[in-house]
A and B are shown apart, each in its own frame.
Chain A
Amino acid sequence: MSEREVMEYDVIVVGAGPAGLSCAIRLKQLKPDLMVAVIEKSSEIGAHILSGAVIEPEPLDRLLPGWRDDPPPICIPVERDEIWLLSKDGKRRLPTPPQQKNHGNFIVSLGAMCGWLAARAEALEIDIFPGYAASGIHFTEKGAVGGVIIGDMGVGRDGEQKDTYMQGIEIHAAVTVLSEGVRGHLSKQLIRRFELDRDSDPQTYGIGMKELWRVQPGKCKPGLVQHSTGWPLDTRIYGGSFIYHMDKDRIAIGFVCGLDYADPKFVPFEAFQQFKHHPMVRDLLEGGEILSAGARAISEGGYQSLPKTEMPGALLVGDCAGTLNVPKIKGTHQAMKAGILAAEHIAEKAAAEGFDAKLRDSEVVRELYKVRNIRPAFYNGFWRGFLRAAIETVTAGKLPVTLPVHADDKSLARLDQGYTPPDRHWVERKLPPRDRLASVYFAATAHEEDQPIHLQILEPDICTTRCTVEYDNPCTRFCPANVYEMVEGGAGKALQINAANCVHCKTCDIKDPYQIINWVTPEGGSGPNYQNM
């Protein structure tokens, strides 16, 4: 392996999401002479961005005053909020809690907004490089983060260099900003290496699945924000839905399930599809067409799970640290604020050191602190959670107790120890997509077939032995893209990994009970091609 070519920047930002782009923009606003680059593994900015999304505009007002005169391509002011408690055939309207009062907020396509932010970043002479995946960290002699290593391209399935082989370069920078989003693969390595989570609770997550639909004319009510809980989930599974009505007869519809569920037979994708068949929702969708579909994990641990966000030479911003506000189900404004704060810190100190203290002292963490007990309140079931959440809301998080947050990978119940999965009474489905493979089609996910499989199974024997007995291979069910299949081979069952279907949601890396699935980045440019998601 020859020495890698090196490019030098003052700051390298990993991930062109709202956190990373806000950080880069703010940096250049404060210090126009800084050399700033943003690298992004997706083929185009926004292609891997999946979010509801209803956003609070405050950080946009701060970062880009005047943005309202030239807003992102999809930006609809919220008109009305509805919260529903669903039963199998019925629905009950609930009062809107303060965290879900969205007056003054906007329904956006976060992906389109990131494209819009990227254009502004380029106008500030920030170098943005989509299609390049940071696959490793460059460490300085002292063991500090000194930049990133771009993944090699043109490597075959067997690890051999193909004719198109191109060695990845190294990008060196005084400060590396990690804004990879939830369960970033580099963040995961660095958190472990620098023990950044030593003093925090484990992170906990949800899986968010979303579809973009064009419904029949007249059905979409632009500006309407609907959330639901209840059906089709039982009281032991945290989660709910969102339906955001946009423009041009388009609606964003999605479903979130907390990944701490116990039932190994549960299929989150199926729960989403069942939700779509609730009479209230089916009416909305019937006769419409799916434009796009996808999934992405969300971070739910909040305050308790926030790791130390700085290490020598680097810092974590946005959801790779976990700044999403769960009761609001909003992470974008938090991510942007964290990115802006990081930029202000770097502009002042030219180093990562001291950022963590600033973040913990900031409105970002204050906001997390206020709602810190709401998600863990649901560990004992829906109704207890609901009650506790109400109390926490009324007391604005001032009660002198902090509930601990637990890890998702330890939550599955053992099928060989008496757990019986409940009968979910789900209905026969008629709406597209028919199954996960059809859903993957709408994610337009693409991976060069001839490349190493990016889902590494660290102890593959477990899959066909312990896991089958203990949990009946739940990866075949929690993956929203049907990546994992147990197939009958000559020598009995074997795990088949359909890596090309992967939508980079990270659920498998999170939920696998043995923590033997290690998601690494495939060749740059691979993965979903979400449009307007």
Chain B
Amino acid sequence: MSRILIIGEHDGQNLNLATAKCVRCAQAVGAEIDIAILGNGVDAIAAEAASLASVSKVIAVNADHLAAPLAANWAPEVVALAAGYSHVFGPSTTLGRDLMPRVAALLGVNQVSDIMEVTAPNAFKRPIYAGNAIVDVQCAEGQTIVGTVRAASWQAVDASGSGTVESRAAAGSAASHSRYIGLEAGGGERPDLQSAAKVVSGGRALASEENFEMVYRLADRLGAGVGASRAAVDAGYCPNDMQVGQTGKIIAPDLYIAFGISGAIQHITGIKDAGTIVAVNKDSEAPIFEVSDIGLVGDLFKVIPEIESLLG
């Protein structure tokens, strides 16, 4: 049976949802699943990780020099922990993408980036060309499989597990050549459009910059980022860094709600990998209804306030 070590991601306080998604991917391999939590004072986080479904064991490694997720410090630790595991997975977050290739190189292997699907314990599907092609990747026998797990492709497992927690001392010490200085959380309270899990978008039908307030309000109510179609940006209703689409941002939130957006192919290119696409448009012929998962033919000026009142 495969034994998978997942490198858990956290912010010092809470486990990142991406870790639970890695577990789902590991389940698809059909393996014994352990999680490693590196940091300083991470016992509570380790306990949280141990409660994830199907996790056997969580290894907590507490050390000063592991407090900040510097790849130069974490990678040797992971390599030390990796002995005996057939797979080492990390999330395809900026942390995982920074760390895991360094681990892979130290283990002497190439990495499978952005795993979308598991077809066999050593075979995976992943996106290339910005998701315009999906390839099958086969890993050679006898070599550790290092991979990152694509968040948009996996549902988080729930907290129905009962794994054990084990403490281990750090194997190495600080790499003197790299120093963590600080973190500046994203500007404003609203999640960044590019990485938000939920996004609410408005199109030209909003008809004015003032009306876009409705979109912002709903987004804040949902804790979502805000986007716009090219037409809305061209009409001056919002700044162009909010543009979602082929010439704007290409995003993959779990939930994308488009109000008054017709769904031209250039816009769809920007959201084709979204988990669930919701469209509200007055025009029942709008092309967006061809790609939406949930569609509502209606007047956004009525629908948005209705949604707000239903959410309470």
| B234/A496 in contact, CB under 8 A | yes
| B264/A487 in contact, CB under 8 A | no
| B247/A437 in contact, CB under 8 A | no
CB-CB under 8 A for A441 and B234, given A434-B287, A449-B247: no
| B240/A438 in contact, CB under 8 A | no
- B residues less than 8 Å from A487 (CB atoms): 204, 235
How far is it, in angstroms, between the C-alpha of A150 and the C-alpha of B240 when the chains are bound?
Answer: 29
- A residues less than 8 Å from B207 (CB atoms): 488
CB-CB under 8 A for A438 and B265, given A449-B240, A496-B234: yes
Is B266 interfacial (CB 8 A cutoff)?
A: yes
- A residues less than 8 Å from B208 (CB atoms): 490
Residue from A437, A446, A488, A490 within 8 A of B264 (CB atoms): A437
Interface residues on B, range: 10 to 19
- Interface membership of chain B positions 243-266, coded 1 if the CB is closer than 8 angstroms to chain A and 0 otherwise: 000110000000000000000111
| A500/B287 in contact, CB under 8 A | no
- For A, the interface residue count at a CB cutoff of 8 angstroms equals 13
**A482 nearest in chain B by CB position:** B264
- Min CB distance A445 to B, Å, is 11
How far is it, in angstroms, between the C-alpha of A36 and the C-alpha of B273 when the chains are bound?
Answer: 49
- Min CB distance A223 to B, Å, is 32
Within 8 A of A (CB), among B71-88: none
- A residues less than 8 Å from B240 (CB atoms): 449
Instruction: Give chain A's interface secondary structure class.
Output: mixed
How far is it, in angstroms, between the C-alpha of A490 and the C-alpha of B236 when the chains are bound?
Answer: 12
Within 8 A of A (CB), among B124-181: none
| B234/A498 in contact, CB under 8 A | yes
**B204 nearest in chain A by CB position:** A487
- Min CB distance B212 to A, Å, is 15
| A441/B265 in contact, CB under 8 A | yes
| A437/B234 in contact, CB under 8 A | no
Which one of A437, A446, A496 has the greatest number of beta carbons of chain B within 10 Å?
A: A437
- A residues less than 8 Å from B269 (CB atoms): 441
- B residues less than 8 Å from A446 (CB atoms): 247
- Min CB distance A530 to B, Å, is 17
Which one of B208, B264, B269 has the greatest number of beta carbons of chain A within 10 Å?
A: B264
Residue from B204, B235, B266 within 8 A of A441 (CB atoms): B266
- Interface membership of chain B positions 38-50, coded 1 if the CB is closer than 8 angstroms to chain A and 0 otherwise: 0000000000000
Within 8 A of B (CB), among A414-446: 434, 437-438, 440-441, 446
How far is it, in angstroms, between the C-alpha of A183 and the C-alpha of B247 when the chains are bound?
Answer: 29
| B235/A437 in contact, CB under 8 A | no
How far is it, in angstroms, between the C-alpha of A500 and the C-alpha of B247 when the chains are bound?
Answer: 10
**A488 nearest in chain B by CB position:** B207
Which one of B204, B207, B266, B269 has the greatest number of beta carbons of chain A within 10 Å?
A: B266
| Apart from A441-B266, A446-B247, A449-B247: 20 A-B pairs, beta carbons within 8 A | A434-B287, A437-B264, A437-B265, A437-B266, A438-B264, A438-B265, A440-B266, A441-B246, A441-B264, A441-B265, A441-B269, A449-B240, A487-B204, A487-B235, A488-B207, A490-B208, A496-B234, A496-B235, A498-B234, A500-B247
Q: Residues of A with Cβ closer than 8 Å to B? A: 434, 437-438, 440-441, 446, 449, 487-488, 490, 496, 498, 500
Question: Would you mind naming 23 contact pairs between A and B with Cβ atoms under 8 Å apart?
Answer: A434-B287, A437-B264, A437-B265, A437-B266, A438-B264, A438-B265, A440-B266, A441-B246, A441-B264, A441-B265, A441-B266, A441-B269, A446-B247, A449-B240, A449-B247, A487-B204, A487-B235, A488-B207, A490-B208, A496-B234, A496-B235, A498-B234, A500-B247
Q: Which 3 A-B pairs have the closest CB atoms?
A: A441-B265, A437-B264, A438-B265
